[in-house]
Amino acid sequence: MFREVSILILFMELDIIFMKVFFRMYSFGGVEVTVNDAVAKRVVNLLTEKNMTQYRLEQTSGIQHGHMQWIMSGKSKTVTLSTVMMLANGFGMTVLEFLDDDMFLYENLEVEQ
């Protein structure tokens, strides 16, 4: 519990960096995708896995429909940690569980400033 709280605090402190820095991620096929794209893909996978609608996720997470559409359509260039926290909560999981996917591995990230 203490470890998760400490990690969550660290993530919260990095929220501004997360918002301002453009991250590029590489899929296994070598195609560049943004963190936003990876988050959208994770959301689609979890919606399917949990047999949940996007509308229900919006209701349980507190994310406004327009903001969710912005993320899912790829129009958003950055996704804040706060949004990731809300998504994780909407799925009934921790941020660490939400990010526990190969597409979020450090070695798949390249930071561009």
Q: What number of H helices and E strands is found in the chain?
A: 7, 3
- Which residues does 88 contact at the CB level (< 8 Å), separation at least 6? 94, 95, 97, 98
Is the pLDDT assigned to residue 62 strictly greater than 70?
A: yes
Query: What is the longest distance spanned by two Cα atoms in the chain?
Result: 38
**pLDDT above 90 for 89:** yes
Percent of the chain with pLDDT over 90: 43
Per-residue pLDDT, averaged over 10-35, amounts to 50
Q: Is the pLDDT of residue 80 over 60?
A: yes
H-run or E-run covering 11: helix 2-13
The reported pLDDT for the residue numbered 4 is 56
Whether 22 and 91 have beta carbons less than 8 Å apart is answered as no
Q: Is the pLDDT of residue 44 over 70?
A: yes
Distance CA 12, CA 73 (A): 25
Output the average pLDDT for the chain.
Answer: 76
Domains annotated for the chain, with CATH where assigned, are: 2-112 (1.10.260.40)
